[in-house]
Structure 1
Amino acid sequence: MTALIGIDWGTTSFRAWRMGAGGEVLDTVGDGPGILAAGALPGGFGQALRDRIGDWLDGTPIITSGMITSRNGWVETPYLPLPLDAGALARSLTLHEGIHFVTGAVSDPDGPAPDVMRGEETEIIGHLAEGGEGGLFVLPGTHSKWAWAEGGRLTAFRTVMTGEVFAALRDHTILGRLIQPGPGSDDAFRRGVQAGQGDGALLARIFSARTLALMDRLAPDQIADYLSGLLIGDEVAQGARDASGPVTIIGRGDLAARYQAAFTMLGIDAQIAPPGMARRGLWEIARMGGLT
């Protein structure tokens, strides 16, 4: 019997789980339109939901997190200030059109550079609910999140735009003119990480992705991996300065592995969390909110 439907709904992704009374997964939908595509459909978000999980909709409580609660999403919810835990997120659920929306988090809202997240807080809560330790959490992606948790609460975080900058440099600058597709090169990635962990201005070091290729010291099908390593290497080197306690990486397998490799090259042991942290976090928030 279905006890809860959980949805992780991002800018370009949609994942849903039908869960039983103990939080076990009964069924999964792993693909669907992200909020940008769903919002453009004739029937909007409601139609996108029915198209993907219409067979599940029988009055079972639904809870969702991610960019679906952003200004471009189904309903914009306010950000919660830090520190926060699963209980705070449960008390702040927004009910809209029969769906419970998990809000996001804000760091230093009155400071010179406030920061925000939507969805990552739920994944961190999921890890903590599974008995995971606090410490530093790294969630790689278009906008990577570096977050700190202590005593079961999210206490601080910051955003690094590594993924988006990589895509922009690859697709819209002169660096990308020499790039050719290839099978992927671990050696080129590690070379990039070493360059990224070096000294000097990052914007100066980035240009080496072009000059090394011009000097025939980097093959055209290695440039993208080198550039990826350079950006990730710089991000990890800068972020590791504030690392204390265990380091946990939450995210897609191949990208998480790249970040783990960069940490290893710095001599830091970083563990990759098992998959399913968003689902586990949704269950925990729903449980504390009385939905299950």
Structure 2
Amino acid sequence: MTALIGIDWGTTSFRAWRMGPGGEVLDSVTDGPGILAAGALPGGFAQALQDRLGGWLDGAPIIASGMIASRNGWVETPYLPLPLDAGALANSLTLHDGIHFVTGAVSDPDGPSPDVMRGEETEIIGHLAGGGGDGLFVLPGTHSKWARTEGGTLVSFRTVMTGEVFGALRDHTILGRLIQAGPASPEPGRDDAFRRGVEAGRQDGALLGRIFSARTLALMDRLPLGHIADYLSGLLIGDEVAHGAQDAAGPVTIIGRGDLAARYQTAFAVLGRAADIAPPGMAQRGLWDIARLRGLA
């Protein structure tokens, strides 16, 4: 029996779970179109949902989180100010076209540098609902999120555009020309190049100046062309982690895709800090908990 359908729908990703009465996963889909691709379909988001989950749609409640609830998604839900917990998210669900959409979160909305998130709040709630403790959470991605919880409540967060900056440097700068000119990066040495980049990332001085070392080291034959991308990744992540962990006390939990989460864990280790990687399924667990508190499941 299907008790709930949960969807984590991002800009370029789509994950969905069919859950039973106890929140157990009965079936899952991980290869659907993100909101950019789905929104361009003739039938839009409704057609994309039917195409991927048509066999599941038997009247069970549907809950969705992520960028699908953004200005570019199916419906734009409001941002809730901090502090924020699972109960507040449950009470603020937006029902649209038969789907309950989770709202986003906003930090310092009236301050000089407001910040927002959509989807990550649900993953953090999932970790807490599964018995995970409070502390610092790092959610790597195109726009990495650094969030802190206290007493089961999200109290602060900030966004770092590390992933997007890496992609732009790799694809649209002179650094990318060297990367593309080199051979395919051989596995041996890639981790060392990444760690070397992390060490460069922790150094003082302007980040934009240190980034250029990815070119000069290669020109001086001190960095193989096939390792430039790994070094650059390490440098950017190293700078992010060095600054993010500077005043961070207590446990650190990384929530995210396996390979990227492992890179962040390595960066923390290089910088002398321990960080645990949350098990997969935090978005699914968070969606279930929010739905349960709303009485949907």
Q: Encode CA deviations 1:83-122: one digit per residue, 9 max, x unaligned.
A: 0100000000000000000000000000001000000000
Cα separation, 2, equivalents of 1:214 and 1:126: 47
Q: Quote the residue 2:259 is aligned against.
A: 254
Matching residue within 184, 209, 215 for 1:210: 215
Q: Is 1:182–2:172 an aligned residue pair?
A: no
Cα separation, 1, equivalents of 2:117 and 2:211: 27
Q: What is the deviation of 1:267?
A: 1.1
Q: Quote the residue 1:14 is aligned against.
A: 14
Cα separation, 2, equivalents of 1:169 and 1:107: 28
Q: Is 1:231–2:236 an aligned residue pair?
A: yes
AA in 2 matched with 1:47 = Q
Q: Is 1:84–2:89 an aligned residue pair?
A: no
Q: Quote the residue 2:63 is aligned against.
A: 63
Cα separation, 2, equivalents of 1:58 and 1:194: 53
Cα separation, 1, equivalents of 2:89 and 2:260: 28
SS of the counterpart of 1:33? Answer: coil
Q: What is the root-mean-square deviation in Å for CA atoms of aligned residues? A: 0.6
Map 1:1-292 to 2 at 5 A: 1-179=1-179, 180=182, 181-184=184-187, 185-292=190-297
Percent identical among aligned pairs is 83
Q: What is the deviation of 1:23?
A: 0.4
Moved over 3 A (4+): none
Q: Encode CA deviations 1:191-223: one digit per residue, 9 max, x unaligned.
A: 000000111110000000000000011111100
SS of the counterpart of 1:71? Answer: coil
Cα separation, 1, equivalents of 2:109 and 2:64: 24
Cα separation, 2, equivalents of 1:139 and 1:76: 22
Cα separation, 2, equivalents of 1:177 and 1:84: 44
SS of the counterpart of 2:241? Answer: helix
The TM-score normalised by the length of structure 2 is 0.98
Cα separation, 2, equivalents of 1:82 and 1:131: 22
SS of the counterpart of 1:242? Answer: coil
Q: What is the deviation of 1:182?
A: 1.6
SS of the counterpart of 1:241? Answer: coil
Moved more, 154-163 or 172-181: 172-181
Cα separation, 2, equivalents of 1:207 and 1:89: 43
Cα separation, 1, equivalents of 2:229 and 2:271: 22
Q: What is the deviation of 1:183?
A: 3.4
Cα separation, 2, equivalents of 1:243 and 1:70: 30
Q: Encode CA deviations 1:203-250: one digit per residue, 9 max, x unaligned.
A: 000000000000011111100000000000000000011211110000
Gap regions ≥5 residues in structure 1: none
Cα separation, 2, equivalents of 1:162 and 1:204: 16
AA in 1 matched with 2:208 = L
Cα separation, 2, equivalents of 1:266 and 1:50: 47
AA in 1 matched with 2:92 = S
**Count of matched residue positions in the alignment of Structure 1 and Structure 2:** 292
Cα separation, 2, equivalents of 1:69 and 1:140: 20
Cα separation, 1, equivalents of 2:224 and 2:270: 23
Cα separation, 2, equivalents of 1:224 and 1:182: 8
Cα separation, 2, equivalents of 1:107 and 1:9: 22
